Structure 1
């Protein structure tokens, strides 16, 4: 399976800018406009910018393959500056600039603001609707109480991640009977903790201790590491990301604590190098793993590095996979004189995409993607080393998307357009 078709060779387009460029020559058919509304400056921007980089790379590739509707796809970036107020302002700016699809990956909190802004806009402007793609925002409420027809989650959620981790670790006889839960005290961390406790009931292990801590405020995790040691846990489950993961793992390494970790963001830049050799044997669950993706994974890894100067992180890869799913959906829509995002949404619901790891679909009831989840184990000397180390993520089990998928939440009351 190759990454992109190469039947057409067009000049690469879609350069990132604050606002969409207006074509120099009037076009008979409209161009699809995709906006990345992301934290591109300030705290967290180094990691969050990766979502935008992946979008830009893939849109250039899709345009080289002919774009869509006889036109190149147009791309622009908008900086939220890391606040919900900034996200709201930039969402409105993107809509005013003619965006058909808004994408965001970095924060469930900011994503929650964007999805509500999009929902309200579409209610007030039924002839100028937009879609919102959640690339990495995993809070359950987004496909629960906040679900709506014009939001699609192209990421996992807490339930999916924990289901996959437990299944993979049990298959490896690595889970043990005693689990420690440590997570950030906001919607995502709370979802992870609840999923761990639910899984304990279903799978017969015990949560011996649990922690919800402040987000990005803890500088010394040694007291928490002491609690982990005192609990005599076999496995530590954490949904932590960013500094809260790096500093936790550094504290574990400094203490010389020998305990398995089950993680959701260990593959992001800075995490594995922070953990050092203590991470060997840790488990991870994610929809992207270059080794599990075979020739496709090798091609993306090599081509992205050649063009972008670095190997693709999971964030960049998930942006790319989202757009490849969109490309598959757009193939079912004939060329149009006016872009109707309701028709794109309906096409997405009907799309089945064959990924190297298995079938990928969107569940119409809540627009949660069902993507196969790769459970991997950190090993030395892998085919794809991560984070400047000699370690990487070696697949141990692939969980089918339908198997990992959590039930539709009762709070989701998705209303379809007439």
Structure 2
């Protein structure tokens, strides 16, 4: 009788959905990693406030990868030992590449107990190219999407010119940006008057690079640089008195506007989201009410990814039983989320999200000031997802589960 009672008691407890955030929560990328984690927590709190999933609150555990791929692999092993169903990560394409391979290999060895990877920030094109796999979903842009949007918006605004310079960090992301600038030249109607790839976060003085830019006399400088490599590049440009428009990917990283000062005015960024581009104040105000600040940098699009997951979960009913990650993945790839800047869908062939790209310009006295300054971003154009997307890469050979 006791055994029967115990069995009955066990069935009253449903299986919770477990999410593991494997993120850079210490080291040089802590500030960015924490923003990803903030946004995920915000989204999961909304899921749980609406009743959770499968009869239980969704559980979230943070795992600190300390900004390294080997550490991320270790944390992945810990996460799956803890029973995590979905891993989430954003800061660094190198770490995303490590995790997607960890997930792929784990799922091959554990059929029926698959784990899914929601990638919020790894933008290397290979992740939806030769590394594409069914259990990886990219809920952010890529270099072609950002560059195509920038070219389109700058051209429409009359700020592109016909001479372009490309300067980027010498790793997968920087090379992707350089290739995207080259590919967009015919549509943009510009000539590339110079290109350079430089060491990542090792250059202390960009004056020699700016001298090369100045001699090439471009109208616009495209760069995927981030952190100090963007700040110091812009500062050296300002110090040299070079009047040029920057077309960037990460100008909204916290601290950039404050540190760059007036040098940043008039420069452009292409990103997944900008508060000024939102269809209403509802999302930024709700985020601020929950977190104490308006969504910045990577927080907006990351919160949308969890909202889209919530929407997909709403189509499933496991009746309190085992979590079926394959069914969650199938529901997610069929979802369309109506974000404040436009619809976001998933391309089934490679699990790249087809998403709006917001192009903004740094101005004085914006609606949402950045870094406690009188400067911030003003929306120039929102490029719809179907216009910003690029073709599926030939190298993507996704093997789908039997449905």
Class of the TM-score when normalised by the shorter of the 2 chains:
over 0.9
Q: Which residue number in structure 2 is paired with residue 383 of structure 1?
A: 367
Aligned partners of 2:128, 2:28: CA distance in 1, in Å?
27
1:248 CA drift (Å): 1.5
* 1:157-168 equivalences in 2 (<5 Å): 157-168=142-153
Instruction: For residues 290-342 of structure 1, give each alpha carbon's deviation from its aligned partner in whole angstroms, at most 9, with x where no partner exists.
Output: 121132xx333334334433332221222211101111111111243111111
TM-score (norm 2): 0.94
Consecutive unaligned residues of structure 2, counting only runs of 5 or more, are: 1-9
1:26 CA drift (Å): 7.7
Q: Which residue number in structure 2 is paired with residue 319 of structure 1?
A: 302
Q: Which residue number in structure 1 is paired with residue 25 of structure 2?
A: 40
Q: Check conservation: 2:361, 2:377, Cα contact below 8 A.
A: yes
Does 1:262 pair with 2:244?
no
* 1:39-78 equivalences in 2 (<5 Å): 39-78=24-63
Match of 2:284 among 290, 301, 309: 301
Does 1:123 pair with 2:108?
yes
Match of 2:315 among 332, 354, 358: 332
Q: Check conservation: 2:346, 2:352, Cα contact below 8 A.
A: yes
Aligned partners of 2:82, 2:219: CA distance in 1, in Å?
53
Q: Which residue number in structure 1 is paired with residue 339 of structure 2?
A: 355
Q: Which residue number in structure 2 is paired with residue 281 of structure 1?
A: 266
Q: Which residue number in structure 2 is paired with residue 406 of structure 1?
A: 390
Q: Which residue number in structure 2 is paired with residue 243 of structure 1?
A: 228
Does 1:111 pair with 2:102?
no
1:212 CA drift (Å): 0.5
CA spacing shift, 1:107–1:26, aligned 2, 3 Å: farther
Structure number with larger C-alpha Rg: 2
Q: Which residue number in structure 2 is paired with residue 373 of structure 1?
A: 357
Does 1:90 pair with 2:70?
no
Q: Check conservation: 1:179, 1:208, Cα contact below 8 A.
A: yes
1:347 CA drift (Å): 0.6
3-state DSSP of counterpart to 2:298:
helix
Does 1:201 pair with 2:183?
no
Does 1:182 pair with 2:167?
yes
3-state DSSP of counterpart to 1:192:
helix
Aligned partners of 2:64, 2:342: CA distance in 1, in Å?
35
Q: Which residue number in structure 1 is paired with residue 7 of structure 2?
A: none
Match of 2:14 among 19, 29, 50: 29
Aligned partners of 2:130, 2:236: CA distance in 1, in Å?
37
3-state DSSP of counterpart to 2:382:
strand
Q: Check conservation: 1:247, 1:274, Cα contact below 8 A.
A: no
Q: Which residue number in structure 2 is paired with residue 8 of structure 1?
A: none
Aligned partners of 2:11, 2:174: CA distance in 1, in Å?
49
Q: Root-mean-square deviation (CA), in Å?
A: 1.6
Q: Which moved more, 1:308-317 or 1:365-374?
A: 308-317
Q: Which residue number in structure 1 is paired with residue 206 of structure 2?
A: 221
CA spacing shift, 1:27–1:322, aligned 2, 3 Å: farther
CA spacing shift, 1:190–1:27, aligned 2, 3 Å: farther
1:27 CA drift (Å): 5.0
1:101 CA drift (Å): 0.5
TM-score (norm 1): 0.91
Q: Which residue number in structure 1 is paired with residue 156 of structure 2?
A: 171
Match of 2:293 among 310, 323, 326: 310
Q: Which residue number in structure 2 is paired with residue 149 of structure 1?
A: 134
CA spacing shift, 1:261–1:120, aligned 2, 3 Å: same
Consecutive unaligned residues of structure 1, counting only runs of 5 or more, are: 1-24
3-state DSSP of counterpart to 1:294:
coil
Instruction: For residues 247-279 of structure 1, give each alpha carbon's deviation from its aligned partner in whole angstroms, at most 9, with x where no partner exists.
Output: 222222322322101011111101122221122
Aligned partners of 1:111, 1:313: CA distance in 2, in Å?
21
Aligned partners of 2:360, 2:206: CA distance in 1, in Å?
25
- What count of residue pairs does the alignment treat as equivalent? 393
